[in-house]
Structure 1
Amino acid sequence: MPIKSLDAFATERRLFKPQALSGLNGSILGIDADHYLSVISALAATYPPVVTGGSSLPPKVRDVLVRDLATLKSHKITPYFVFRGLPAASANPHLFKQYDLQHAEMRSQRRQAAWNQYEAASTEAEHATLAAFHDSGLNPVTTSAAVFRTITGLLAENNVEYSVAPYYAWAQLAYLLSTERIDAVLGPSELLLAPHVDKILVTMDDKNASVLHKKALLQELGGLTNELFVEVALAAGCDLTGNYTFPPFEHPINVMGQPTTPIRTAADSLAQYPSIYTAVATYGADQGIFAARFRRAFAAFKFCPVLHADGHVGPLPNTGDVPNDSHDFLGQRLPDELIYYQNAGLIGPDLLTMIVSGFAAEEAGLDGDADIEYRTLVKKLPDTYSKCLNLITQSLHRYYHYKKYNIVYFWQPETENPLNSQFQPALYVGLNWKTDKLEGLATKPVSAVNVSSVLDLISSSSADWKKASLTPSHTVLLSTNTQILANTILRLLQLEGYIDPKTHSLTKWGEVLQAFGNEPMALPILSLLRNKLLDNKPLTPQSVNAFAPSPSPLLLKVAGFVNSTSGTYRGRFSRQALAMSSIAATQTRATRWLLESTLFSLLSFAADKGRDASVYELGRALPFNTLPSSITGNVIDQLLRGAALGDVAKVCYHGESATKIVTEQLDQFKTAWKSLFAAVEKAHKLDLVSADVHKQFVDANDVCKNKL
């Protein structure tokens, strides 16, 4: 987030200057992902019909991102995105409450009210109700946390490099600029706090960028030095202080009796005080609360860790040694190795945040907590989270072994439910996959390694190979990306019960998974089936009128796992489709977390992986990197209700390609359904699902044939 009120001040003083993108021809442009997302989300909000896409990344936001990437490419500018990493304690002294859970129940109620208003509106009036979704927090893309894997997946598709900062993305960009690894930066005004950053790009279009020069800004603020500018920014409110403003500057009035900006008032106060800290320290109305926050924020700025070129994590050069009490203003520190893996995309900041904060938080679904099934799924997640904690913490300091971890649910925000991170023996002890002999898979690139190819390896391998894999050599260390990813997936499948740990053969559920074929959603959706959350019964509403009945709830549930990214969706949204989208996204995220934890455990105990470009290649090859959206579910819902394909295309998409887009979505869904139905048939033959569940799938298959 930018320094509070600085943008308004700079706009008033006309400090934003246009610069032609052609002037950056041949350069590398570092981009703060959070800042960029906030900018393009504001742009997307000017198109009311497409504000809410029902997915973690609204279609309009995706369109703007793809367009901007094409613009940069046309100007021969190489973008390099940097994502925010771990949260810093300076911004939130109560780091364990960073998700603002005290308002979680209120947000859920607002979402339900927004849905009731939206569903009651006519076609002409529905667009006016979309603002209520944003007020309820239904789909605001203001930070990269909610859309991290969706964005990184999209960047990987477009061959755009990215990384994750240890803490603040703008701090990492400032370091990259100082070491000349990038030539320019597009990001928030916090970048100007760094002494060596002279100017920043704030926004861009197809021809120009809006540039803010530090020299002009400091001159307008009364000729501030960089040191005083840092204090002014902290008092005005910025990322480092959690956007809190020094109370006397919150609603300032100038000498003419007119409202002014906090940053202007903070700068003017230097006429009365030798420094901003003097004003903060002598303010006693809040019992020194802001003064303590100010000190923590200043220390976090001075010693903010960045990932250096040699792989170590530390403050900017020439800063000095980090004090021993850095946990007071940064939070609990993790090993450099783990931060490096986060930077490369091998493990997400959301999972590591659970490690350092000590708790996981589950928010309400996109339907506003209208269905009971979502709560049922969320209650089953602690088993997965406990496995993740055990796999990761076994490689960390003993403190993390015995640290208390909790999960908090949105419907009980004040109740902390314990997570069990201790297993006897530790999980990694029983995961004995460490084979460098991968038969035909060994010669394939890492991009060819997935759940399906690993299952084929198991089923086609000889008994001698399986016997040898049961007793791995302690002298063998995995080194290639193909070896590492294949063994990670093997361990994951064993952990989830698809591979027998005693024989290294497929279990019955492993045979079902293999029958599913090469579908990205196979593992997450089978997890729902095994947990008895995938059937042809409608979602159980929390209220009588929560959902309109669907001709086939099962087909709609499966559609929630099919991720469609074609075109900009402009149709109405099905509350039930978004409910299933939330379930699908939550289960997919949990599967990804377990994969990342298994990978880190393997890298810690069974691999020899250097720090080079191949690590980033491995990060981009990991499966489950994109959360499903509800777009396909909305389309399938309308088709199931009897709407003609051509009519759905006209309503949901604009342009000549509308029919093609809907046809592709339908074909994609049918392919996924065919694979799932084959897997359920296999499960029925192996007596893994009841006759009643099998009949529900048969009935849904008939509906699919007749209506789709």
Structure 2
Amino acid sequence: MINGFSEWAAAERLIQSSPLEQLKGRCVAIDAVAHIQKSLTKGDTKESLLPALGGNPFNIENTLDTQIKQFRDSGIKPLFVFHGINASGEHHKLITAELLAKKIDEAWDLYNASNPDQAVVAFGTACLFDSEHIYRYVQSLLHRKRVPFLVAPYSAYAQIAYMEGDVVDAIQGSSELLVFNTQKVILDMDFESMTFTWVTRQSCIDNLALGNAQLWNDACLLAGSNLLLTLPQLDNDATAVRIPKIRAAADMLKRLSMSGNTICLQHADEPLNRQFDYLDNYRKAIMSIQHHVITTISGEMVTLNKETAPNDVHSFIGQRLPDEIYYYVSRGTLGTSVLSWRTSGQIVEKPPVDGGTSITYQTLIRDKLLHSRRKSLALLSQSLHRFYQHKDVNLKLFFGPQDTQGIPLDVTNAGDVKAMISKWHVGKPLIANRMKQTKVDSCSLLFAIESLSSTDFAKSTITPKKAADKIMRDVQEIQSNALWRYLHLNDYIADDHTLSERGQMLSRAYAKAKSSGLETDQFDEPLLLGVELLRLQILNTDNLFPVPPYHGAPYRGSETDQRNTLLVSRVACLGRLRHEPIGYTGPLSRHLLAYNSCVSAARHAQRDMLDMSLCTMLLDGDVDRSIGEKAMRDIGFGLPFIRDNDCGLSIAVKHYLDELSADDQPTSSESRQSVKDKGKKTWFPHVIDFEESLQYAFSLWDAMTAAVKDAPTSLVSANLRDEWMKVDTWLSGRR
């Protein structure tokens, strides 16, 4: 939202209202991000403690169901449009994230000072923090519920503006749409009053800018929005009477008789302007509005106003990718993270929801995950134009120097990763037969690992492209090959297609989880993440997060009790808490939230690598490009690591074990049941079956213990194994 727009437009009576019935039978393109953000921050759907838990809102699917029903009951046909690949020059998102991180830090201070009500309010001001991971999960829900959506090549604003009139009947979204060449924007739909509010771009231009469209655009940009940060000189305005930022920006432009570019140039050497690289980012924003890249109704990639576009469109949009990639992005088949890194030449690492001030998290991002990211980028680059194969990518960190280009990833020297996984073209008949043998009816990480337990089958999967019968057309066939390639690239499968030592370790964990009665979707992702965290050397009892600021670690019982509780709680962080579709009520832990940030980073790295394994299959012609749109969506949304975790289950386990450690008889059945009853009735009133949640966490623990117990010392040190076994013995009497 443009800063001050709503206040200004309401005061000037520019916002009009009409009966919702006027939209009956109409197709409305909806700015999906603005729609989701409104759900996160307004009314009954707001979950104030979302920044304190991480992950997805507990009521997100329930909210979406309600909204879909409202659209259908009103006869409105929504088309949700999401942002796609990040355009160059979007570093203002880093600044915005840092400002929200400070708000969350203040909320934790209130919580630790025993001011819970004030803390909840403070957390609620930062509900939009780190919400990007929610969007792809929402896309998967929309696909499952058969609601149409589109992912724009780059900006959803530009895409929606292009669609107005010719493709859809109306558009709805944030005020940023009014900067683009739109006519009328629906700001809100009220299904209770059965009305909608809207505004025309021309009325805004006439009122604020005296009919001058360029002055209007400049005022919108300098006021601050999702397109550009607020001009620092407007933020530092010391006048007694506060006026809406958009009005203040317009007044400045008219008073000085200057363009936005001239004002930015005049202040270019001032400290904050220099820190934000404001002049350059302003110019990129202006050019991207005029010459953004959109996809036409026929699927063609087009630069707006191409006849007047400069030769360096890549400098404000990013380097061009093959057109077919934008198609896969538009259907949600591929995520955009690695694609954004590749086109911009930079990874801009924002602070996580816990603040990211720990050495543990910073080391993870700066050092430990580079190997995975390098492989993902190299795999993509080796299927693209040679330009990309000789151009590196830099990592820019929120905790590092902001005046440098960042840390080079050395992508060009990652080796021939594409050739490494080039012999996975396993046909549908072979896969179907193996599924019958393993009694599996769907493609999953479990099947990908379990299928290779047979040496004969593993050998039969060595299928160079020239030996493959035909290109892949079946959804499960494509998914299986993508998973095998990802697991091979990630060292779970050896070059002879048998399970590596790490793959065997994961297989033992899976076998134990199955014997515990868990469903596949309850353990296949969590246990692989657990093995990854062992690889990253952060699944242990070490004090990874210092106090302050990371309060909320186990504190009851002996030091041994506390260390043991910590390890079991960290394993529980791999799973999800089953919670009613309502905002969370219960205890918090910044310590476990920080650990969840590490789990989340590892999870995203897995999906990034999996996306690129699939992407190269598509680019290299291994997959039939004529398969239907539904199948294309099924492929992407049927692969793992779509949905992020919260730390709710970890907090529940920590509280249970902590409370037992304060009891004189922590292993007695009476004590255990008493604490479980207290958890169900007092601490976690909206958890669906508190005891079952604990049992689920302990089943994950058993599976990880099975993996650790027989793991070679090259994967798990003898000291860690011994410590793990001691914790297992300690836990056995407390379950």
Does the alignment reach a TM-score above 0.5?
Answer: yes
Identify the match of residue 286 of structure 1 among 267, 273, 282: 267
Letter in 2 for 1:508: E
Alignment of structure 1 residues 403-422 onto 2, 5 Å: 403-414=391-402, 416-422=406-412
Identify the match of residue 435 of structure 1 among 425, 436, 455: 425
Identify the match of residue 660 of structure 1 among 688, 710, 721: 688
Contact 2:215 2:253 (C-alpha < 8 Å) held by counterparts: no
Q: Which residue of 1 is the match for residue 677 of structure 2?
A: 646
CA distance in 2, matches of 1:48, 1:293: 33
Identify the match of residue 342 of structure 1 among 329, 337, 342: 329
Contact 1:166 1:306 (C-alpha < 8 Å) held by counterparts: yes
SS at match of 1:212: strand
CA distance in 2, matches of 1:207, 1:664: 42
Q: Relative to structure 1, is the Cα distance of residues 697 and 30 closer, same or farther in structure 2, using a 3 angstrom cutoff?
A: farther
Contact 2:391 2:412 (C-alpha < 8 Å) held by counterparts: no
Identify the match of residue 560 of structure 1 among 540, 561, 573: 573
CA distance in 2, matches of 1:292, 1:363: 20
Contact 1:497 1:510 (C-alpha < 8 Å) held by counterparts: yes
Question: Deviation at 1:61?
Answer: 6.2
Question: Deviation at 1:173?
Answer: 1.9
SS at match of 1:334: coil
Q: Relative to structure 1, is the Cα distance of residues 651 and 309 closer, same or farther in structure 2, using a 3 angstrom cutoff?
A: farther
Contact 2:206 2:212 (C-alpha < 8 Å) held by counterparts: no
Question: Deviation at 1:70?
Answer: 4.3
CA distance in 2, matches of 1:439, 1:478: 11
CA distance in 1, matches of 2:379, 2:140: 25
Contact 1:252 1:262 (C-alpha < 8 Å) held by counterparts: no
SS at match of 2:317: coil
| Deviating more after overlay: 615-624 vs 15-24 | 15-24
Gaps in structure 1 of 5+ consecutive residues? none
Identify the match of residue 621 of structure 1 among 630, 638, 641: 638
CA distance in 2, matches of 1:688, 1:236: 53
- Paired positions, count: 683
SS at match of 1:629: coil
Question: Deviation at 1:666?
Answer: 2.8
Q: Relative to structure 1, is the Cα distance of residues 28 and 143 closer, same or farther in structure 2, using a 3 angstrom cutoff?
A: farther
CA distance in 1, matches of 2:294, 2:86: 13
Identify the match of residue 315 of structure 2 among 300, 305, 328: 328
Q: Relative to structure 1, is the Cα distance of residues 223 and 148 closer, same or farther in structure 2, using a 3 angstrom cutoff?
A: closer
Gaps in structure 2 of 5+ consecutive residues? 511-519, 556-561, 661-674
Question: Deviation at 1:320?
Answer: 4.2
Does 2:700 align with 1:707? no
Contact 1:478 1:608 (C-alpha < 8 Å) held by counterparts: yes
Give per-residue Cα distances to partners, 1:604-647, cap 9 Å, x unaligned: 22514426413222222221111111111122221122272333
Does 2:531 align with 1:526? yes
Q: Which residue of 1 is the match for residue 559 of structure 2?
A: none
CA distance in 1, matches of 2:382, 2:565: 45
SS at match of 1:422: helix
Q: Relative to structure 1, is the Cα distance of residues 214 and 367 closer, same or farther in structure 2, using a 3 angstrom cutoff?
A: closer
Contact 1:439 1:457 (C-alpha < 8 Å) held by counterparts: no
| Deviating more after overlay: 689-698 vs 280-289 | 280-289
Q: Relative to structure 1, is the Cα distance of residues 338 and 252 closer, same or farther in structure 2, using a 3 angstrom cutoff?
A: farther
CA distance in 2, matches of 1:376, 1:402: 27
Does 2:373 align with 1:385? yes
Q: Which residue of 2 is the match for residue 673 of structure 1?
A: 701
Q: Relative to structure 1, is the Cα distance of residues 704 and 73 closer, same or farther in structure 2, using a 3 angstrom cutoff?
A: farther
CA distance in 1, matches of 2:242, 2:22: 39
Give per-residue Cα distances to partners, 1:103-147, cap 9 Å, x unaligned: 96x9878766653542231xxx22213455578xxx541675343
Q: Relative to structure 1, is the Cα distance of residues 127 and 38 closer, same or farther in structure 2, using a 3 angstrom cutoff?
A: same
Question: Deviation at 1:396?
Answer: 2.3
Contact 2:462 2:497 (C-alpha < 8 Å) held by counterparts: no
Q: Relative to structure 1, is the Cα distance of residues 127 and 421 closer, same or farther in structure 2, using a 3 angstrom cutoff?
A: same
TM-score, structure 2 length as denominator? 0.80
Contact 2:84 2:152 (C-alpha < 8 Å) held by counterparts: yes
CA distance in 2, matches of 1:107, 1:191: 24
Q: Relative to structure 1, is the Cα distance of residues 648 and 68 closer, same or farther in structure 2, using a 3 angstrom cutoff?
A: farther
Does 2:331 align with 1:314? no
Does 2:478 align with 1:490? no
Question: Deviation at 1:244?
Answer: 3.7
CA distance in 2, matches of 1:486, 1:702: 38
CA distance in 2, matches of 1:263, 1:111: 27
Q: Relative to structure 1, is the Cα distance of residues 694 and 154 closer, same or farther in structure 2, using a 3 angstrom cutoff?
A: farther
Q: Which residue of 2 is the match for residue 604 of structure 1?
A: 619
CA distance in 2, matches of 1:597, 1:48: 33
Question: Deviation at 1:420?
Answer: 1.7
Alignment of structure 1 residues 85-96 onto 2, 5 Å: 85-89=84-88, 92=89
Alignment of structure 1 residues 57-72 onto 2, 5 Å: 57-59=56-58, 64-72=63-71
CA distance in 1, matches of 2:699, 2:146: 27
SS at match of 2:395: strand
Does 2:505 align with 1:506? no
Q: Relative to structure 1, is the Cα distance of residues 617 and 233 closer, same or farther in structure 2, using a 3 angstrom cutoff?
A: farther
Question: Deviation at 1:557?
Answer: 0.6
Q: Which residue of 2 is the match for residue 178 of structure 1?
A: 165
| Deviating more after overlay: 45-54 vs 641-650 | 45-54
Q: Which residue of 2 is the match for residue 581 of structure 1?
A: 596
Q: Which residue of 1 is the match for residue 347 of structure 2?
A: 360
CA distance in 2, matches of 1:343, 1:271: 41
Q: Relative to structure 1, is the Cα distance of residues 223 and 530 closer, same or farther in structure 2, using a 3 angstrom cutoff?
A: closer
